[in-house]
């Protein structure tokens, strides 16, 4: 009986120590930003006001993490209502038909210090492509409510033409490459 009890205890401890934790994006402390060259001489900056995401993570590192993020395209915000309306149209995001962009990890590889290479699938409009992005892991701490929070960020480029955003295909007025900056704080559930 003692052996059965000890086996049960060790099995339970093993299951708990290898348990994966779910983390969700805290929108109050996160942002999805972009900038794109305009007319070859200046930049237009913008953001998406609504997004969500989660991670299934072992321990307090990104090793073997499974991450997924969604962006509500209808919330694009460049600070100019007329431009935002145009960006939501079929010329750009076609937000009525494709209201969300999403990213799902395929693999994650640890580099030096707190950096990782995240490979996954990015879907914009009706196109899904494999991308690879550098991610900086900010670490884990506790917030004012005593909950564990984790910080990650990434900066990468996306060629908009690869995702059927074909307005001005020459890139003379609106550049082909978009700089994307993501800052996420995730809360352990």
Could you read off the pLDDT of 106-117 as tens digits, one per residue? 999 999 989 999
User: Residue 158: how many CB atoms within 10 A of its CB?
Assistant: 21
CB count within 10 Å of CB 183 equals 16
- For residue 109, list its beta bridge partners: 117
The token pair at 120 is 């996954």
At the second CATH level, the architecture of 20-188 is Beta Barrel (2.40)
Instruction: Work out the pLDDT band at 60, boundaries 50, 70, 90.
Output: confident
Residue for token pair 């892991």: 137
Determine the longest span between alpha carbons in the chain, in angstroms. Answer: 78
CA distance 115 to 153: 10
Q: Are 174 and 167 in contact (CB under 8 A)?
A: yes
Mean pLDDT of 10-31: 73
At residue 59 the predicted structure's pLDDT band, cuts being 50, 70 and 90, is: confident
The answer to whether residues 180 and 33 touch, using CB atoms and an 8 Å cutoff, is yes
The domain spans of the chain are: 20-188
Cα dihedral: 175, 176, 179, 182 (round 10)? 130
CB count, 10 Å around CB of 60?
Answer: 14
pTM: 0.86
């Amino acid at each position: 009986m003692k052996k059965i009890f000890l086996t049960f205890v060790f099995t339970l401890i093993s299951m708990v120590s290898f348990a994966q934790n779910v983390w969700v994006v805290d929108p109050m402390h996160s942002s999805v930003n972009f900038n794109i060259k305009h007319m070859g001489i200046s930049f237009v900056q913008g953001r998406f006001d609504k997004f969500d995401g989660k991670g299934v993570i072992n321990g307090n590192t990104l090793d073997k993490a499974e991450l997924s993020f969604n962006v509500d395209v209808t919330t694009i915000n460049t600070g100019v209502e007329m431009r935002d309306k145009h960006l939501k149209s079929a010329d750009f995001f076609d937000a009525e038909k494709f209201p969300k962009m999403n990213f799902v990890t395929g693999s994650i590889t640890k580099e030096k210090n707190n950096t990782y290479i995240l490979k996954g699938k990015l879907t914009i409009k009706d196109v899904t492509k494999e991308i690879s992005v550098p991610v900086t892991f900010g670490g884990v701490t506790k917030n004012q409510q005593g909950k564990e929070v984790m910080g990650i960020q990434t900066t990468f480029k996306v060629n908009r033409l690869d995702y059927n955003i074909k307005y001005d295909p020459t890139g003379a007025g609106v550049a082909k490459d978009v700089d994307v900056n993501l800052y996420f704080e995730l809360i352990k559930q």
